[in-house]
Amino acid sequence: MGQQDEDMPSMRSSDGSATRSVRSDAKRNTDALLEAAMEVFATRGVDAPVREIAQKAGVGIGTVYRHFPQRADLIAAVFRREVDACADAAAALSASYGPADALAAWLLRYTDFIAAKRGLAPALHSGDPAYVSLHSYFKEKLLPVLRGLLDAAIEAGEVRDDIESMELLSAVANLCISAGKADGAVARRMVSLVVDGLRYGATDKS
Q: Which residues bind its own copies (CB under 8 A)?
A: 118-119, 121-122, 125-127, 174, 178, 180-181
Helix, strand and coil content of the chain, in percent to the nearest 5, comes to 75, 0, 25
Q: Name the residue nearer to its own copies (CB basis): 28 or 181.
A: 181
Q: 3-class DSSP state for residue 46?
A: coil
Q: If you count DSSP H runs as helices and E runs as strands, how many of each does the chain have, helices first?
A: 9, 0
Q: Which one, 103 or 168, has the nearer CB to its own copies?
A: 168
- In whole angstroms, the minimum distance from the beta carbon of 8 to DNA comes to 14
Q: How many residues bind DNA (CB under 7 A)?
A: 22
* Pick 104 or 123: Cβ nearer its own copies: 123
The closest of 128, 125, 102, 101 to 173, measured between CA atoms, is 125
Are residues 46 and 123 in contact, defined by beta-carbon separation less than 8 angstroms?
yes
What are the distances in angstroms from CA 41 to CA 1, 188, 192? Answer: 28, 22, 27
- Identify which of residues 5 and 140 has a Cβ nearer to DNA in the complex: 5
Of 20 and 199, the one with the shorter C-beta distance to DNA is 20
CA-to-CA dists, residue 206 to 73, 97, 101, 151, 157, angstroms: 51, 19, 16, 19, 10
Q: Give the integer Cα–Cα distance in Å for 65 and 53.
A: 12
Choose the contact partner of 181 out of DNA, its own copies, none; CB within 5 to 8 A by kind: its own copies
Site for DNA in 17-46 (CB under 7 A): 22-23, 25-26, 29
Q: Is 6 in the site for DNA (CB under 7 A)?
A: no
Task: Report, in Å, the least distance between residue 43 CB and DNA.
Answer: 14
Residues that bind DNA (CB under 7 A): 22-23, 25-26, 29, 47-51, 58-63, 65-67, 69-71
